[in-house]
Amino acid sequence: MDPETLAIPPPLDRSALIFAALGDETRLRLVAILCGGGALSIAQLTLGTQISRQAVTKHLHVLAQAGLVRDAKLGRERRWAFEPARLAEARRSLEVIGQQWDHALGQLQAFVES
């Protein structure tokens, strides 16, 4: 097994925070919108939805705590933007865990076939 397979993923508690934030359908939808729309205001994010501005604000704060979005004040409003680095970190964690599972399953297969 190569050393990369044994690499310890980024702190799993940080990744867990990301996965918990993305575990809500509304927050996942907000991330998808921000991925394609650049920095948007809360008014823009609620446009055409049944979700209140207060609810969107709450969800954005959860995403911000996980490091998935950031806000910047522009005049009287805040604009929210996606922060791709944190999602890449979570992806790396999943890749390492996936490699570890592949290795474990390979060992199991070798044991069963011997």
Q: Is 41 left (phi over 0), alpha (psi -120 to 50) or beta?
A: beta
Q: Quick one: pLDDT at residue 38?
A: 84
Q: Quick one: pLDDT at residue 31?
A: 94
Q: Average pLDDT over the chain, rounded to whole?
A: 87
**Average pLDDT value for residue range 3-31:** 78
Q: Quick one: pLDDT at residue 16?
A: 84
- The architecture of the domain spanning 12-113 is Orthogonal Bundle (1.10)
Q: What DSSP letter does each residue of 30-89 carry, written as one string?
A: HHHHHHHH-SEEHHHHHTTSS--HHHHHHHHHHHHHTTSEEEEEETTEEEEEE-HHHHHH
Domain assignments of the chain as residue spans, ordered by start: 12-113
Instruction: Answer yes or no: is pLDDT of 9 > 60.
Output: no
Q: What is the pLDDT of residues 44-96, one digit of tens each?
A: 999 988 999 999 999 999 999 999 999 999 899 999 999 988 888 888 888 88
